[in-house]
């Protein structure tokens, strides 16, 4: 998922960048009509680094790269080309020379492309926000398909193992009944934070629905799915101590694990993890169970 950003501040800064660069067009017009210098900042060879947007872009480049690395590179290129075109036009005008058609076309094209790139980035946070669970800050289930396809490609290339873990909060209805939905929300938030904290950077965790979370992971071998990942999640959740209205809640989770086969789709993988999770619930909860390999007999829900 992209780095967490202040949506209003990010969009506001993009709007300011558009307005600032449109203002440069007016300064070029004054230069052309009145033959007055457009300003030292416009004529500087490093103008693309000195303008309002340039300074912000350099400082927060990681945000742009996280949102879309390729578009971030294109934005940087178009921004630099626009400033170079502006400088070339003004140099000729101030020297009493007519502007070349190709220079003006380069300015028009680069400015149009720059505004298109800025508009693209303006739309991204809104789109991203709609794919993120407002309560936990986790991506929602419809974000999984693309990540699953990418992970499957990496697994095939590296010869590693892909797993899905379905994590279900135990006795969540009882928590809601005892502490209200607000209390249940606090428990979900704390568990979500715990999952994010204990997982590795390349692991993915999603709010699957209700009190369920899904983890997609790439591991070197099958045994690490149990002895490493599942045990780590169970231990971390067991350590939680959550105060709700004067009471202390110690939540636990039950985990179903499915190890992907070449024939698995995301749907079939999660379905097998779900079956294993129900076996864990029937076994007393607060544990993990591993689904049979694809083609074997799936555990039946209790």
Whether 2 and 127 have beta carbons less than 8 Å apart is answered as: no
Residue 211 among the catalytic residues: yes
With contact defined as beta carbons under 8 Å apart, do 165 and 172 qualify?
no
Marked catalytic residue, from 76, 78, 162, 211 = 211
- Which of the 8 DSSP states describes residue 101? H
Burial class of 237 by CB neighbour count within 10 A (0 to 12, 13 to 18, 19+)? buried
Three-state SS for 240-292 is: CCEEECCEEECCCEEEEEEECCCCCCHHHHHHHHHHHHHHHHHCCCCCEEECC
Give helix 101-129 / helix 7-34 axis angle, nearest 10°: 170
Q: What is the DSSP secondary-structure string of 131-191? A: TB-TTT-PBBGGGHHHHHHHHHHHHHHHT-EEEEEEEEETTHHHHHHHHHHHHHHHHHHHH
How far from chain centre, in Å, is Cα 24?
A: 33
Structure tokens at 175: 């928590």
Whole-angstrom Cα distance, residue 106 to residue 28? 14
Burial class from Cβ neighbours inside 10 Å (0-12, 13-18, 19+) for residue 96 reads: exposed
Catalytic residues: 211
């Amino acid at each position: 998922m992209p780095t967490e950003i202040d949506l209003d501040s990010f969009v506001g800064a993009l709007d300011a960048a558009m307005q600032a660069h449109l203002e440069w067009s007016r300064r070029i017009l004054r230069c052309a009509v009145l033959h007055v210098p457009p300003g030292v900042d416009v004529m500087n060879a490093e103008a693309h680094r000195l303008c309002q947007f340039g300074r912000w872009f350099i400082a927060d480049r990681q945000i742009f790269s996280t949102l879309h690395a390729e578009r971030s590179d294109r934005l940087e290129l178009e921004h630099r080309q626009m400033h170079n075109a502006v400088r070339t036009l003004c140099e000729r005008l101030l020297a009493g020379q007519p502007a070349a058609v190709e220079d003006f076309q380069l300015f028009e094209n680069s400015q149009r492309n720059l505004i298109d790139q800025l508009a693209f980035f303006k739309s991204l946070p809104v789109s991203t926000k709609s794919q993120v669970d407002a309560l936990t800050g986790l991506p929602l289930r419809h974000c999984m398909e693309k990540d699953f396809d990418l992970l499957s490609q990496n697994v095939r290339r590296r010869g590693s193992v892909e797993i899905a873990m379905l994590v279900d909060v135990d006795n969540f209805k009882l928590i809601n009944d005892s502490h209200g939905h607000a209390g249940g929300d606090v428990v979900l938030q704390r568990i979500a934070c715990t999952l994010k904290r204990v997982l590795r950077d390349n692991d993915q965790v999603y709010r699957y629905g209700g009190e369920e979370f899904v983890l997609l992971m790439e591991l070197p071998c099958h045994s690490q799915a149990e002895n490493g990942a599942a045990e780590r999640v169970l231990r971390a959740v067991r350590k939680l101590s959550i105060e709700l209205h004067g009471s202390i809640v110690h939540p636990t989770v039950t985990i179903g694990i499915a190890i992907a086969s070449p024939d698995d789709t995301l749907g079939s993988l999660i379905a097998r993890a779900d079956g294993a999770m129900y076996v864990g619930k029937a076994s007393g909860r607060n544990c993990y169970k591993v689904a049979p390999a694809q083609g074997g007999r799936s555990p039946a829900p209790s």
